[in-house]
Amino acid sequence: MASVQISGLRKLYGDVVALSDINISIESGAFFTLLGPSGCGKTTLLRTIAGFHFQNAGTISINGASIEKAAAHKRDVGMVFQDYAVFPHLSVADNVAFGLKQRKLTREEIGSRVAKALRIVQLELFAERMPHELSGGQQQRVGLARAIVINPAVLLMDEPLSNLDAKLRVDLRAELRNIQKNMGTTTVYVTHDQEEALAMSDVVCVMFDGVIQQAASPVEIYKRPANRFVADFVGGNNFLQTSSNKGDVSLAAGGAAVGSVDADRAVLAAVRPEDVAVHVENAPVGPNRIEVPVTIDQISFIGREMEVHGRTSTGELLKAASRPDEIVLGQGEGSAAVFTFDKDNVSLFEDHETGQRLS
């Protein structure tokens, strides 16, 4: 069990800022996920913690002891790699024993710890197999066993499930989270898959452009995104132009006020597609209900739900995702409809890529 503190971390590649003033505090035993699009710096940050890159400035400490100057092989952090990185010339058992041998443990100790680690990842029957005889999922289990067997202070995982097929990914995700909970090892997990991040983490840390956008619980991230980028990247959002009058903000596409701001400025209103309802005939008017008349652009039926694209009078795209509805699905492209959503479900953001939340 160990806590991790990162402060003022900075990493440059030539002139490119890969990490800019990263400050993170991870509680002991937490499952901490770095989430972001490719190139956002999440893998760079993970590799800097592992010691594969050196930072240009800043400190990293585990349980208060600073490690940022230690060589990679002297840091007590286990790592699980995206491409498994299982040693192809060693058997499963020898792969798992590798780190223990570096630590000069006795034969007996190594034997019992390897057996235990293989039991945890359910590979006890595969100890003598060679990696090429294993499936991708099994190889990644070896990668996990190899990383946890050394009892690292911190476990680092670099998109460990991204090379697996969809079904296995979901199964292994739950298993991974269980193992982590049982062992209580502080874990830093990197992914670009928001569903994975939300499902597994205690804390999700959204990164973009080398900067941390928001670090909070999955619910908080989803319900109260700190800025426009998070609102868009996690879960997706409709962003609509607004006009404000004496602090009251209303959609450019019309309708009642959706919120208020301190001073008149460029503001975007965001509403999640699943909060938008589609009405073809008469829309139920409620006190807090915002109505936006649209022309239907496209209707896609995707099984569990239908996705309806509406075009507002200002030409903006408004997406609605709701349970399939025979009447709506029967509509042709170009027919008129009214999209409605609750005022409470609208968030306001400054109008730029990482614009701050205003309400």
Partner 1 sequence: MRAPGANMGILGGFRPSFWSVVTVLVVLVLFTLLILPIFSVFVVSFFDGKTGEFTLNNYVQVFTRNYYLKGLQNTLFVGSLGTLGACLIGVPLAFFTTRFRIRGQAVISTLAILVLVAPPFIGAYAWIMMLGSNGFITNFFANVGISIPTIYGAHGIILVFTLKFFPFVFLMTQTALKSINKSFEDAAENLGCNALQRFFKITLPLVFPAVSTGAIICFVLSIADFGTPAILGRGVRTLSTIAYSAYTSELGGTPTMAVTISLVMMAISMLALLAQRRILSKRRYASAMTNRPVVYQLTGLRNMLAHGYCYAVVSIAMLPTAVVIYTSFLETNGPVFTGKYGFSSYARVISDAPEAIVNSFTFALSAVCLIAIFSGLISYLIVRRDTAVSGMIDLLMMVPYLVPGVVMAIGFVTTFRTGLFDLAGTSIIIIMVYFIRRLPYGVRSTTNSMRQVKPSIEEAAINLGASPLRAFMTVTVPLILPGLIVGSLMSFITAINELSSTLILYTSGTVTMPVKIYISVLDGEFGLAAALSTILLVCTGLCVYTVFLLADDRESSFV
CA distances from 44 to 38, 187, 189, 207, 210 (A): 11, 16, 12, 11, 9
CB of 62 to partner 1, least distance (A): 14
Nearer to partner 1, 187 or 214 (CB): 187
- Provide the minimum distance between the beta carbon of 73 and partner 1 in the complex, in angstroms, as a whole number: 5
Cβ at position 52, least distance to partner 1 in Å: 6
Give the residue, chosen from 3, 5, 7, 10, that forms a contact with partner 1 under the rule CB under 8 A.
10
Nearest residue (CB) to partner 1, 81 versus 222: 81
Binding mask 288-327 for partner 1 (x = CB under 8 A): ----------------------------------------
Return the residue of 71, 125, 285, 302 that touches partner 1, per CB under 8 A. 71
Contact between 65 and partner 1 by CB under 8 A: the answer reads no
Return the residue of 150, 200, 249, 290 that touches partner 1, per CB under 8 A: 150
Burial of 285 (0-12, 13-18, 19+ CB in 10 A): exposed
* Only segment of 46-54, 166-174, 235-243, 264-272 that touches partner 1 (CB under 8 A): 46-54
- Segment contacting partner 1 (CB under 8 A): 79-87, 169-177, 246-254, 255-263? 79-87
81 near partner 1, rule: CB under 8 A = yes
Q: In 3D, which of 188, 198, 161 has the Cα closest to residue 31?
A: 188
Decide: is 83 part of the binding site for partner 1 (CB under 8 A).
Answer: yes
Mapping DSSP onto H, E and C, the string for the chain reads CCCEEEEEEEEEECCEEEEEEEEEEECCCCEEEEECCCCCCHHHHHHHHHCCCCCCEEEEEECCEECCCCCHHHCCEEEECCCCCCCCCCCHHHHHHHHHHHCCCCHHHHHHHHHHHHHHCCCHHHCCCCHHHCCHHHHHHHHHHHHHCCCCCEEEEECCCCCCCHHHHHHHHHHHHHHHHHHCCEEEEEECCHHHHHHHCCEEEEEECCEEEEEECHHHHHHCCCEHHHHHHCCCCEEEEEEEECCEEEECCCCCEEEECCCCCCEEEEECHHHCEEECCCCCCCCCEEEEEEEEEEEEECCCCEEEEEEECCCCEEEEEECCCHHHHCCCCCCEEEEEEEHHHCEEEECCCCCEECC
- What's the min distance (Å) between Cβ of 146 and partner 1? 7
Q: Which range binds partner 1 by CB under 8 A, 12-20, 188-196, 290-298, 308-316?
A: 12-20
Q: Does 224 bind partner 1 (CB under 8 A)?
A: no
Residues that contact partner 1, how many (by CB under 8 A): 37
* Of the candidate residues 1, 8, 23, 103, the single one contacting partner 1 (CB under 8 A): 103
Task: Give the nearest distance from C-beta 67 to partner 1 in angstroms.
Answer: 11
Residue from 28, 29, 39, 50 in contact with partner 1 (CB under 8 A)? 50
Residue selected from 74, 167, 246, 304 as contacting partner 1 according to rule CB under 8 A: 74
Residue 83: both structure tokens together: 């491409």
- Residue 207 interacting with partner 1 (CB under 8 A): no
Examine residue 283 and tell whether it contacts partner 1 (CB under 8 A).
no
The answer to whether 89 contacts partner 1 (rule: CB under 8 A) is yes
In whole angstroms, what is the distance from residue 11 CA to residue 18 CA? 5
227 forms beta bridges with: 356
Determine, following the binding rule CB under 8 A, whether residue 130 of this chain makes contact with partner 1.
no
Residues lying near partner 1 in the complex (CB under 8 A) are found at 10-14, 50-52, 54, 56-57, 69-74, 77-79, 81-89, 98-99, 102-103, 143, 146-147, 150
